[in-house]
Chain A
Amino acid sequence: DAKTTQPNSMESNEEEPVHLPCNHSTISGTDYIHWYRQLPSQGPEYVIHGLTSNVNNRMASLAIAEDRKSSTLILHRATLRDAAVYYCILRNNNAGNMLTFGGGTRLMVKP
């Protein structure tokens, strides 16, 4: 399975933008880039996903490098509720392919 590399932790100030990086240099052409987050004492929660183009939704934006070897999750205005572990995961289009979680990035948001 193609792997991802994320910083262990990041810190942000409330109401400022946050850019969470992810490297996936061995990504294949059929791998989708997924982001999930896990708030304290909760199950993981879907954030966003993309294949080649940048994506926006109500939670975040996903910027994908042209060579697809890296991506960045952008939270436009961090709130205290955004403090969580963020996981960048590659998911293939083969049926049965589950999410394989790495260590993720622990985001701390300061008031």
Chain B
Amino acid sequence: DSGVTQTPKHLITATGQRVTLRCSPRSGDLSVYWYQQSLDQGLQFLIQYYNGEERAKGNILERFSAQQFPDLHSELNLSSLELGDSALYFCASSVEAGTGYEKLFFGSGTQLSVL
């Protein structure tokens, strides 16, 4: 158990809909990272938050947004869903903003299926 909690584990929805994925980081971790894993693209970094502020942005679509709340949990919002958004979404956390030596701890993911 990594200590990172993601809910829900599975989500099935239709095209055009909007969903929210939730992540609770490990106790004491200030940084949260979101990743998308699809069969053809592998693990892709989406966005990072540190102590409530956006810290780094990767290949995140404009239809997607995220935020980190004062209690440090994070939510990833996906809107106007398309079939291609079907993927595993992982959240990870770390203590600091992203120094070269620190470890990331990953949750078990949310499997999103868009039908």
Q: Is A44 an interface residue (CB 8 A)?
A: yes
Complex: how many Å from CA A96 to CA B47? 10
Q: Name the CB-closest residue of B to A92.
A: B100
Number of interface residues of B (CB under 8 A): 28
Specify the main secondary structure of chain A where it touches its partner: loop
One digit per residue, 1 when the CB lies within 8 angstroms of any chain B CB and 0 when it does not, for chain A 80-102 equals 00000001000111111111111
Query: Which residue of A31, A43, A87 contacts B100 across the interface (Cβ within 8 Å)?
Result: A31
Give which listed residue, B4, B43, B50, B56, contacts A101 with CB less than 8 A: B43
Please report the C-alpha to C-alpha distance between residue A36 and residue B50 in the assembled complex, in whole angstroms.
22
> Measured between alpha carbons, how far is A55 from B109 in the docked complex, in Å?
29
- Residues 33-59 (chain A) with a chain B CB within 8 angstroms: 36, 38, 42-46, 49, 51
Looking across the interface, which residue of chain B has its beta carbon closest to that of A101? B43
Partner of B48, one of A38, A87, A91, A98: A98
Q: Which B residues lie at the A interface, using CB under 8 A?
A: 2, 4, 33, 35, 42-45, 48, 50, 55-56, 58, 90, 92, 96-101, 103-109
Known A46-B104, A97-B56, A98-B45; further 14 A-B contacts with Cβ < 8 A? A42-B109, A44-B92, A45-B106, A49-B101, A51-B100, A51-B101, A91-B101, A94-B100, A95-B98, A98-B33, A99-B92, A100-B45, A101-B45, A102-B42
